[in-house]
Structure 1
Amino acid sequence: MNYEYTKFDLGRTITAEQQEFFNANGFIHFKNFIKPETVKDVIEASLTVQQEWLKNKTIKVNGVPVKYGKDLDGSDIVQRFAFINQHHPVFSELSQDPRLNILLNLIGPHARLGTEEKDGMVLNHYVNGAQSKFTQMGWHTDGLRDIFHGQRLNPMLNVGIHLSSLKPENGGLRLLAGTHKQSLYQMLFRKKYFLDNKADHKEIAIIPEAGDLTIHDGRLWHRVAQSSVIGETSRRRVIYLPIIAGKYEPKHEHSPTAFYQRFAELVK
């Protein structure tokens, strides 16, 4: 496993060096995108949304299933929030950060933030305890969604805003650099989607500090590794927001649940 790769600072534009790195590897890591106090505000806002969804027994948001789980003390928690940007002003404001528009250049013309499409802004909350179920995710590509919908594979990037500082033993994002350039056959059959959780000797471990931002191409093979530690030190939170191109397809409260989302325990 490789922990060493170049990390960058996000300025007013994507530099030629950053574009070259992203084109070659299919991912990029920017340091210190949001400040520690913003990280704190975001986590507190997620707890407010969680309290509301637990109270209302919210099952789906715009057709996307909400993933519930158990905290270390056995209490109910939300472990995957979909479209959280539509449920609290802190997340809405974060999704409108003008610096995110700089990232659109990684795809090119006609790219947009998917705040109303796909699953919107998603917050994942992992914790490894005795009753935990949402602790890892097997190998997959995000591009499979378009194929499920019978669509051609449109450009898509996943922007991750990390709310936890991780060490390798905390698990987290693992990816196979360069696989965004693979054939469609390799995209479909290189790994057993979601079922294969095994480490790959070529994988790169993303080890962020709280407040860092990462981007990975939707065609890239990646997984979420389980924490090897148990308890509070295993807790990690990360936000994902898609950058997409192609037909505009916003979701709403009457949107149907996608076929693959019926297997909610597998969905990122």
Structure 2
Amino acid sequence: MIKLECPDFILGEKLTQEQLSFFDKNGVIIFRNFITKKTVEDLLKEINSLQQKWITEGLEKVNGTPLKFGKDENGETIIQRFCFSSLHNAVLHEFLKDPRFKALPELVAPYEGRIGENEKDGLVINQYVKTPDSSFSQMGWHTDSPRDLFLGQKIMPMLNVGIHLDDCPAENGGLRVLTGTHKQGILKLLFAKKYFVDNNPDPQETGVDINAGDLTVHDGRLWHRVQQSPFTGIKSRRRVMYIPIITGKFIPKHAKSKTPFYHHFISKVKF
């Protein structure tokens, strides 16, 4: 595994030329200390509150997208993949108004990018944990682009913006990327690896050291995966909020939206 050598970039209300160049070359970038430890704690409190609400209500889908359930280290039911979270929690909704997010669409210029709060799967929250009854402790190789094809659209540039809520050095698993593959051709984008079922390390993959409060951005066309932690229980826990920055046609989701085909496929994949 190669470690991503990224300067200690700080995200302001405008990107620097160095930041733009780094992202253009690699397809991924890290901004350190985007939020404080106190804000991390506040967000986790809201996530736990939303989780208990949805579990109590017996909710299984939001706007047509299935929730993913599993068990934590204590055997308690948890939601391991939320969706459209900010549409159901005022604090998460306000968080997305941080003016620094408005700088990120420049990474998809000359296209006009927007925060997809009610598009795709909205604000996704992933809770990775490795226990005997967890259903979500890793994720195989994939890009984020083919979902456009399933929706009958051409592939458009997009970004996935991750706000990290736990410390996760690369040795503890976490994000793995193949830098530069955001510039690959359509055949490699679709067929270079077996989507989601291939969890094998790649000799060229790059790992990322993450601290709670960091923000990452990766191009949707970049091959990436999530490496399973070597630990079990609480030491394996990794919580990340992802919000998409989208280009192209505005296609909002709503309560009567149908479940996209690719979610039926993913539900059959063992993570």
The reply to whether TM is greater than 0.5 is: yes
Q: Kindly provide the CA deviation profile for residues 39-92 of structure 1, in whole angstroms up to 9, marking residues without a partner as x.
A: 001111111001111111101000000001011111111000000001111210
Q: Give the whole-Å Cα distance in 1 for the aligned partners of 2:54 and 2:241.
A: 18
Task: Indicate the larger mover: 257-266 or 239-248.
Answer: 257-266
- Deviations, residues 112-144 of structure 1 (Å, cap 9, x unaligned): 000010000000001111221210110000001
CA–CA separation in structure 2 for the residues paired with 1:63 and 1:131: 25
CA distance, structure 1, for counterparts of residue 48 and residue 266 of structure 2: 21
Is 2:45 the partner of 1:44?
Answer: yes
**Percent of aligned pairs with the same residue?**
51
User: In 2, Cα distance between the equivalents of 1:133 and 1:110?
Assistant: 36
Distance 2:169 2:33 in 1: 17
Q: Deviations for 1:194-244, whole angstroms, at most 9, x for unmatched residues?
A: 111001111111221000000000000000110011121111100100001
Report the Cα distance in structure 2 between the residues aligned to 1:133 and 1:18, rounded to whole angstroms.
36
Deviates more, 1:44-53 or 1:100-109: 100-109
Which position in structure 2 is the counterpart of 1:204?
Answer: 206
Structure 1 residues 68 and 209: CA distance shift in structure 2, 3 A: same
Q: 1:267 to 1:63 in 2, by over 3 A?
A: farther
Corresponding residue for 1:175? 177
**Contact 1:177–1:204 (CA<8 Å) still a contact in 2?**
yes
Q: Once superposed, what is the RMSD of the aligned Cα atoms?
A: 1.4
Greater CA deviation, 102-111 or 232-241? 102-111
Asked if structure 2 preserves the Cα contact closer than 8 Å seen for 1:172 and 1:225, the reply is: yes
Q: Which amino acid aligns with 1:145?
A: R
In the TM superposition, 1:6-155 aligns within 5 A as 6-7=6-7, 8-108=9-109, 109-155=111-157
Q: Partners of 1:29 and 1:206 in 2: how far apart?
A: 9
List runs of 5+ in structure 2 lacking aligned partners.
none
Look up the equivalent residue of 2:195 and give its one-letter code.
Answer: Y
Aligned length: 268
The one-letter code matched in structure 2 to 1:15 is T
Task: Name the SS of the counterpart of 1:233 in structure 2.
Answer: strand
Secondary structure of the structure 2 residue equivalent to 1:5: coil
Q: CA deviation at 1:26?
A: 0.6
Amino acid at match of 2:71: K
Check the 8 A contact 2:69/2:78 in 1, yes or no. yes
Which aligned segments of 4 or more residues in structure 1 are displaced greater than 6 angstroms?
none
TM-score (normalizing by structure 1): 0.97
Q: Give the equivalent residue in structure 2 for 1:227.
A: 229
Is the 1:67–1:264 contact (alpha carbons within 8 Å) kept by the matching residues of 2? no
* AA in 1 matched with 2:226: V
Unmatched tracts of structure 1, length 5 or more: none
Calculate the TM-score normalised by the size of structure 2. Answer: 0.96
